[in-house]
Amino acid sequence: MQEVSAEPKPEPARGSGPVSNIVFPNPLGYRLPAETEVNILKKKYNFSSQYASFLRTQNGLRGIDAIQAEDPQGKYFKLSESESTEPRETIQILYGVHSGDDYSDFEANNSFAEDPLKHFFTYIGNDPGGNPFAEIRRGKHKGRIVMIDHEIAPHDMDGLIEELKISMDTGSVDLNDETCLEKITEAIEDEEWGLVMVMADDFDSFLSLLRYTPDGVSVIENNET
């Protein structure tokens, strides 16, 4: 008898399948840091009280492999029957304090000496393509969560100023002048440049938009904005 080969099963479409709400805190973070250590980091990196609370109680979120291995019964990832939304962005990882490796460590990802954006953003995680998620550090939108397109991000301060075509009153950037830094922050956020994409107005709102989907942990569209 001639064997009939089975037809290959089609790959599931992006966003198809169940969508699960994520319960925080959950065991998929890293070992919790001391409160005094979080307070020191908060002062050093000027991040929000909401993000500080996340580090104290959750301390990051490991990738999809850890989720599938450690929460097979869905205790922390609750199926949402009312939701069938297309994921907006996928999260590879949210950084933790003392995570154990530079890829997922909060300070390691916020300590690149030559990175000009570190004066304006605090990095909190990244997507599978290496685009970072970040919290704005200063200005009228301080605390807002954005995703940064790393392919067009400048690699030094001179390149940043040239790209933005900012007319500095002093002719140079004074990193000790808060007014100067806020002016640059506002220019960086300009949607015409396309460097940043707004995810949520604050960190707690960002967490409320996270879902566990067939693609991993994703940020869904915020229908209230």
Inter-residue contact 182 to 189 (CB < 8 Å):
no
pLDDT, position 119 = 87
pLDDT at position 3 over 50: no
pLDDT, position 154 = 79
Q: How many distinct structural domains can be found in the chain?
A: 1
Q: Looking at the domain assignment, is residue 175 inside a domain?
A: yes
Indicate the pLDDT class of residue 143, thresholds 50, 70 and 90: very high
Q: Looking at the domain assignment, is residue 1 inside a domain?
A: no
Cβ neighbour number for residue 209 with a 10 Å cutoff: 20
Q: Looking at the domain assignment, is residue 8 inside a domain?
A: no
Average pLDDT over residues 165-182: 68
pLDDT, position 7 = 44
pLDDT at position 15 over 60: no
Residue pLDDT, tens place only, 102-134: 999 999 999 987 888 988 999 999 999 999 999
Residue in the structure block whose two tokens are 């967490």: 207
pLDDT at position 101 over 90: yes
Q: Looking at the domain assignment, is residue 97 inside a domain?
A: yes
Total-model pTM: 0.83
Dihedral class, residue 118 (left if φ above 0, else alpha if ψ from -120 to 50, else beta): alpha
pLDDT, position 76 = 81
Q: Which domain holds residue 94?
A: 20-220
Average pLDDT, the chain: 81
Q: Looking at the domain assignment, is residue 53 inside a domain?
A: yes
Q: Which residue has the higher pLDDT, 173 or 2?
A: 173
Q: Looking at the domain assignment, is residue 134 inside a domain?
A: yes
H or E, element range at 219: strand 216-220
Average pLDDT over residues 154-173: 66
Q: Looking at the domain assignment, is residue 131 inside a domain?
A: yes
pLDDT, position 203 = 98
Q: Looking at the domain assignment, is residue 7 inside a domain?
A: no
Dihedral class, residue 188 (left if φ above 0, else alpha if ψ from -120 to 50, else beta): alpha
pLDDT at position 14 over 60: no
pLDDT at position 186 over 90: no
